[in-house]
């Protein structure tokens, strides 16, 4: 029940296209859903996050769509650029007073081609 | 911009040896975490630390693991007797005061157990 399922495993998009990565969760107690971007040899970097009280959040070219009833959320990267080529992880957590254990998805390797 | 730092960046050790991985979280942060990532796999939660004690730990975090905040700036992960399967990238993360939902990750320590 703690799993977060992520798809696709890899994705190739042309420059200027839209990249879409999907995640699904099981634990209805999760109340925080971040997306992390990771470049080779680096730590994950927070990209954008959403709480379940909104259905969409947009920051620049990055948008999270959230469907609470379906227990799914997705990342859309508009106007994808070669510099967006990285591994993307969705995650979920239940925020408590003692911290915030993140459960990560399996990752999506995105390659944006010229 | 403040960031989480980790040392060493790489560590090679023999099976059965003790290793200590060090982290300097962002200075005003109150929540601290260790995660690991086996090569090519997802990031996995190990332990969270708040108010000078472990607030949550995963089943991976067995008696061979311990964490400590020896002073006001460092946060360490000790593996007492390393196993081959401990080979992974270890990430430290920290969160600011408040609900602590946003985690900032360090660059990681790559541990190789021979």
**pLDDT tens figures, B65-89:** 999 998 878 999 999 999 999 999 9
Pairing relationship of beta strands B53-57 and B43-50 according to DSSP bridges: antiparallel
Residue with tokens 């900032």: B104
Dist. CA B106–CA B93, nearest whole Å? 6
Highest mean pLDDT among A1-5, A91-95, B34-38: B34-38
Q: How far apart are CA A32 and CA A51, in angstroms?
A: 5
pLDDT tens digits, residue range A74-94? 999 999 999 999 999 999 998
Q: Provide, rounded to the nearest whole percent, the portion of chain A with pLDDT above 90.
A: 83
Q: Is A93 on the interface with B (CB under 8 A)?
A: yes
Q: What is the mean pLDDT of residues B14-34?
A: 95
CA distances (Å), A33 to each of A66, A92, A102, B48, B81, in order? 9, 5, 9, 18, 35
The confidence band for B48, taking pLDDT boundaries of 50, 70 and 90, is: very high
Query: Residue B93 and residue B4: Cα distance in Å, rounded?
Result: 7
Confidence at residue B51, expressed as pLDDT on a 0 to 100 scale: 87
A/B interface, count of CB pairs below 8 Å: 74
Q: Identify which has the larger pLDDT, B6 or B1.
A: B6
Please answer yes or no on whether A100 and B101 come within 8 Å at the CB atom.
Answer: yes
Residue A22, beta-bridge partner list: A7, A74
Does A11 contact B at CB distance below 8 Å?
A: no
Q: Is the pLDDT of residue A114 over 70?
A: yes
CA distance B33 to A100: 9
């Amino acid at each position: 029940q703690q799993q977060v399922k992520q798809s696709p495993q890899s994705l190739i998009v042309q420059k200027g296209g839209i990249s879409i990565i999907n995640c699904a969760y099981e634990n209805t107690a999760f109340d925080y859903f971040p997306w992390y971007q990771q470049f080779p040899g680096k730590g994950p970097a927070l990209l954008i996050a959403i709480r379940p009280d909104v259905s969409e959040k947009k920051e620049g070219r990055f948008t999270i769509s959230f469907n609470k009833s379906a227990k799914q959320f997705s990342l859309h990267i508009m106007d994808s650029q070669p510099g967006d080529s990285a591994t993307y992880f969705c995650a979920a957590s239940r925020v408590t007073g003692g911290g915030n254990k993140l459960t990560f998805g399996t990752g999506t390797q995105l390659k944006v081609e010229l | 911009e403040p960031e989480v730092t980790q040392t060493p960046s790489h560590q090679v050790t023999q099976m059965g040896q003790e290793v200590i991985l060090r982290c300097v979280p962002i200075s005003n942060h109150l929540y601290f975490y260790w995660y690991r990532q086996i090569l090519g796999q997802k990031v996995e939660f190990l332990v969270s630390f708040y108010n000078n004690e472990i607030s949550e730990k995963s089943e991976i975090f067995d008696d061979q693991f311990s964490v400590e905040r020896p002073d006001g700036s460092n946060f360490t992960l000790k593996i007492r007797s390393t196993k081959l399967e401990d080979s992974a990238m270890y990430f430290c993360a920290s969160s600011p005061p408040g609900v602590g939902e946003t985690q900032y990750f360090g660059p990681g320590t790559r541990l190789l157990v021979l």
